[in-house]
Amino acid sequence: MGTTSDGDRPWESYHTVYTNAKAGMDGVDKERVQRVIYEMSKGSKYFENEQRKEAFLKQRIERMHAQCAKLTTNDIAHFQMIADKRILESEAARDLSKIWLHSDMDAFYAAVEMLDNPSLKGKPLAVGSMSMICTANYEARKFGVRAAMPGFIARKLCPNLVFVPTNFDKYMYYSEMTRKVFRRYDPYFIATSLDEAYLNITDVCKERGVSSQEVAEELRNAIFEETSLTCSAGVAPNRLLAKVCSDINKPNGQFILPNERKAIMAFISSLPIRKIGGIGKVTEHILRDVLGINTCEEMLKKSAYLCALFSPCSIDFFISAALGLGSTDTPQFSLRKSMSSERTFSGTEDQSLLYQKLDEIADSLSNDMQIESLFGRTLTLKLKTASFEVRTRALSLQKYIQSKEDILSHATRLLKAELPLSLRLIGLRMSHFRDDKHGSGDPMQKTITSFIFSGDASENVLCDNHSAGTDTSDDPLIGNDLCFQDDQNVPSLGSRHPELVDEQCFNNDVDGWKKIDGFKSSAKTDEMEMYSRTESNVEVNETGKFPDNRAVYPSTREGLAFWIDDYICSLCGCELPPSFIEERQEHSDYHLAEMLQKEESTNNLSKLMQERPIDKGSSATGTSRKRQKSSPKGSKHIPIDFFFKRNKEV
DNA sequence: TTTGTCACGGAGG
DNA sequence: GAGGGCCTCCGTGACAAA
Ligand SMILES: Cc1cn([C@H]2C[C@H](O)[C@@H](COP(=O)(O)OP(=O)(O)OP(=O)(O)O)O2)c(=O)[nH]c1=O
Ligand SMILES: [Mg+2]
């Protein structure tokens, strides 16, 4: 495939994610690493699939090239005007009033393992398995070993590599210790994973009259004293930049970017675009090969071409990032949108075996859903063929389901339609959760709580980003767009982008519950045991929001009340065991109605509503892209039918 | 025109 | 000797129905 001569150096055309610059990889012999990876890979089904993907990407790049070539000078002038306008608008929204700190633990899982077993110190260590490693310590990184690399390749790179399986209990335990420190600096801190968090230290600096540099030092020292683990910190006026900064002097270092436009531009200009959260391997490749963009400065220079080639969403993201803009607000927490379970096994076309796998996965998903009292109505079957091609097949129901039996019966139908096939992975994902936590039911019937919080009542409140489901889109080859969205930092051809836009729902992490780097199973359950029942529920969501111990379960919209020890109402102390589902909902609705009454009398309802994941339309850095829903907003008075408006679902 | 559904892929930890 | 994870989020485009 390579247009260049693959002939004598074939490994150079096998692009992996492993050669990307990363902390601890400085002195690595990259050519050797590339070669070893290539040698271990070539000929494998995985490798062939990667090549297929690369070929598609190449076609895509060629199409974009052609598109560029067709532009007349007139066109370019036109797009330059559009770009300049966007640049001006973005610049006008620059907010330098906040100070954000991003904290990132160093080789977190590996560091915890070394702490737990000091004999590992000084040895190259990988956490994970022979098929995939989660992270590696800095000794191992010298050999090119890193996260997301298969263990058998890592061992080839570093024959003395020690493997340790993951222990999420431990990581959660230490993570919680670090969060206790974070909490002291910003009770609303945003945890984006077990080992990363954003803290708004504006007030700390102001109130104590200390510099952000001092706060960063103090915080890192506190973490070290309390956990014996090191971390790195980045300080900047927004989260996008803070995240970039924390990587600069990693490990065990910090970097402060002052809140001055000049300093920011100097910093960002020479920054390789790949350092920006949301620009991954593919986006980097496209921007480099199509437009010759490698740095943020170049991105700005080529802004007219960006406007010609990409969607408004992507354009905004690129331009904002190139200007060093990012989110400065503290986002509202958001609810879980999907939950999934998937398993890889050795490829087979034995149908009874495949149905058995499906059974296990349905069971696992159902259990997970029960733990969080979730009922969903969109089920997506995911398959990976023996040749690594991925397919998804979805189905939306009238009713919300949770039981294994229900899940399995629908999943079986979906699978049946695809067989025969030789598969290596089966997965199930549930989405479109009910707005409250109870049993099945007709989507038409909502409780007051769910009705109000769901946004049917006042659209502008919603976070429900995109109109549709969570599974999405088709034919990636048609558009060029990369799309970014918000959150911490992460865009890509269809992924969230970072810090830029503020708005809408951020899922500040969600981690903590399952996903967690991919080894959820034990994670979720353990976390439940560990935290719930103490004040931990807070922990879970606390990823940012409820410093006052007003626990709220993740992804449930039960309303204002939650159940202490799972049976005492947090608001009035009345006791209702979990099995009293209907009663509980009524009870919760009662508190909500009561509250609404109070709120309304003080004209504050709109404020209450906005406390949910919200819009914020055009916030400071507001690059918000979202399709805006037209909605009557801002009305102070609530008409009675507000409470009875029908929900539009099927 | 708007809204919902579905498929696919990028991204990050 | 072969072997390449698991979870969550999101945007886009195609298509159908309202
Ligand atoms: C990339 C990746 C990371 N992880 C986990 C393991 C890591 O400890 C954690 C953070 O990932 P990394 O960003 O790779 O960082 P790290 O903490 O291991 O090391 P450092 O920050 O010093 O570079 O996320 C996974 O579980 N799966 C993955 O695929
Ligand atoms: Mg880290």
- A34-68 tens-digit pLDDT: 999 999 999 999 999 999 999 999 999 999 999 99
Q: pLDDT tens-digit profile of A396-430?
A: 999 999 999 999 999 999 999 999 999 999 999 99
Residues A233 and A350 in one domain: no
| Residue A51 in domain | no
pLDDT value at residue A14? 80
Question: Which range, of A150-159, A412-421, A582-591, averages the lowest pLDDT?
Answer: A582-591
Q: Extract the runs of DSSP E, i.e. beta strands, from A412-547.
A: 423-433
Mean of the pLDDT values across residues A14-39? 85
Domain boundary among A256, A287, A317: A256
Of ligand 1's atoms, which has the minimum distance to the CA of residue A519? 26
Q: How far apart are CA A638 and CA A404, in angstroms?
A: 42
| Residue A203 in domain | yes
Q: How far apart are CA A219 and CA A495, in angstroms?
A: 32
> Higher confidence at residue A474 or residue A217?
A217
Domain boundary among A256, A271, A294: A256
Residue A578 has pLDDT above 90, yes or no: no
Residues A465 and A359 in one domain: no
Q: Is A147 in the pocket of ligand 1 (CB under 6 A)?
A: yes
| Residue A65 in domain | no
Q: Would you call A26 helix, strand, or coil by DSSP?
A: coil
Strand order in the sheet with A125-128: A133-136, A125-128, A162-164
pLDDT value at residue A28? 81
Sequence letter at residue A118:
P
| Positions of A marked active-site | 196
Q: How far apart are CA A150 and CA A129, in angstroms?
A: 8
Residues A422 and A453 in one domain: no
Domain boundary among A194, A227, A256: A256
Q: Would you call A382 helix, strand, or coil by DSSP?
A: strand
> Higher confidence at residue A340 or residue A525?
A340
Strands A133-136 and A125-128: antiparallel
User: Using the CB atom, is residue A476 less than 7 Å from strand B?
Assistant: yes
| Residue A394 in domain | yes
Of ligand 1's atoms, which has the minimum distance to the CA of residue A146? 14
Q: pLDDT tens-digit profile of A373-396?
A: 999 999 999 999 999 999 999 999
Q: pLDDT tens-digit profile of A236-257?
A: 999 999 999 999 999 999 999 9
Counts of helices then strands in chain A (DSSP H, E): 22, 14
Residue A299 has pLDDT above 80, yes or no: yes
Place of tokens 């995109």: A466
Residues A480 and A437 in one domain: no
Q: Which ligand is nearest to the CA of A109?
A: 1
CA A169 to centroid of ligand 2, rounded, Å: 17
Residues A428 and A468 in one domain: no
Question: Which range, of A55-59, A303-307, A399-403, A445-449, averages the lowest pLDDT?
Answer: A445-449
CA A538 to chain centre: 20
Mean of the pLDDT values across residues A623-639? 30
Sequence letter at residue A595:
M
Residues A492 and A439 in one domain: no
User: Using the CB atom, is residue A481 less than 7 Å from strand C?
Assistant: yes
Q: How far apart are CA A396 and CA A377, in angstroms?
A: 6
Mean of the pLDDT values across residues A300-304? 98
Average pLDDT, chain A: 75
| A427 close to A382: Cβ distance less than 8 angstroms | yes
Band of residue A372 on the pLDDT scale cut at 50, 70, 90: very high
C-beta pairs of A15-22 under 8 Å, 24+ apart in sequence: A15/A54, A15/A281, A15/A285, A16/A50, A17/A148, A17/A281, A18/A144, A18/A146, A18/A148, A18/A149, A20/A274, A20/A281, A21/A272, A21/A274, A22/A141, A22/A146
Q: Is A136 in the pocket of ligand 1 (CB under 6 A)?
A: no
| Residue A355 in domain | yes
| Residue A629 in domain | no
User: Which residue in A598, A587, A594, A519 sits closest to A558, CA to CA?
Assistant: A587
A48 CA vs B4 C1’ separation (Å): 36
pLDDT value at residue A425? 98
* A47, closest nucleotide (Cα–C1'): C4
* A627, closest nucleotide (Cα–C1'): C11
The alpha-carbon radius of gyration of chain A (Å, integer) is: 25
CA A135 to centroid of ligand 1, rounded, Å: 5
pLDDT value at residue A570? 40
Helix A520-531 with A168-185: angle, nearest 10 deg: 50
Residue A449 has pLDDT above 90, yes or no: no
| Residue A323 in domain | no
CATH code (residue A184)? 3.30.70.270
Q: Is A174 in the pocket of ligand 1 (CB under 6 A)?
A: no
Chain A, 16-55: which CBs lie within 7 Å of strand C?
Answer: 16, 37, 40-41, 44-47
Q: Is A18 in the pocket of ligand 1 (CB under 6 A)?
A: no
Percent of chain A with pLDDT over 90: 61
End-to-end CA distance of chain A: 48
Place of tokens 């990132």: A104
Residues A411 and A552 in one domain: no
Substitution site in A133, A135, A249, A254 for ligand 1 pocket (most atoms within 8 Å of beta carbon): A135
> Higher confidence at residue A283 or residue A462?
A283
pLDDT value at residue A6? 54
Structure tokens belonging to residue A35: 């070669």
User: Using the CB atom, is residue A331 less than 7 Å from strand B?
Assistant: no
* A156, closest nucleotide (Cα–C1'): C3
User: Using the CB atom, is residue A470 less than 7 Å from strand C?
Assistant: yes
Can you name the residues that pair with A563 across neighbouring β-strands?
A569
Chain A, 295-314: which CBs lie within 7 Å of strand C?
Answer: 311-314
pLDDT value at residue A19? 78
Place of tokens 């931990």: A536
Question: Which range, of A49-58, A329-338, A357-366, A617-626, averages the lowest pLDDT?
Answer: A617-626
Q: Which domain holds residue A393?
A: 341-443
User: Using the CB atom, is residue A509 less than 7 Å from strand B?
Assistant: no
| A57 close to A285: Cβ distance less than 8 angstroms | yes
Residues 6+ apart with CB under 8 A from A321: A240, A273, A276, A278, A279, A296, A299, A498, A500
A279 CA vs B3 C1’ separation (Å): 31
Residues A407 and A453 in one domain: no
pTM score of the predicted model: 0.77
pLDDT value at residue A114? 98
What φ, ψ does residue A376 adopt, rounded to 5°? -125, 165
Residues A347 and A458 in one domain: no
| A151 close to A126: Cβ distance less than 8 angstroms | yes
The C-alpha angle with vertex A523 and arms to A537 and A278, in degrees rounded to 5, equals 90
Question: Which range, of A69-73, A229-233, A640-644, averages the lowest pLDDT?
Answer: A640-644
* A148, closest nucleotide (Cα–C1'): C5
A650 CA vs B4 C1’ separation (Å): 9
Residues A383 and A418 in one domain: yes
Residues A592 and A469 in one domain: yes
CATH code (residue A403)? 3.30.1490.100
Residue A610 has pLDDT above 60, yes or no: no
User: Using the CB atom, is residue A136 less than 7 Å from strand C?
Assistant: no
User: Using the CB atom, is residue A468 less than 7 Å from strand B?
Assistant: yes
Residue A612 has pLDDT above 70, yes or no: no
Q: How far apart are CA A184 and CA A221, in angstroms?
A: 13
Helix A520-531 with A351-371: angle, nearest 10 deg: 20
Q: How far apart are CA A92 and CA A619, in angstroms?
A: 11
Band of residue A335 on the pLDDT scale cut at 50, 70, 90: very high
Mean of the pLDDT values across residues A607-615? 27
Sequence letter at residue A468:
A
Domain count of the fold of chain A: 3
Residues A641 and A578 in one domain: yes
pLDDT value at residue A10? 75
What DSSP character marks residue A251?
Answer: S
pLDDT value at residue A480? 57
| Residue A482 in domain | yes
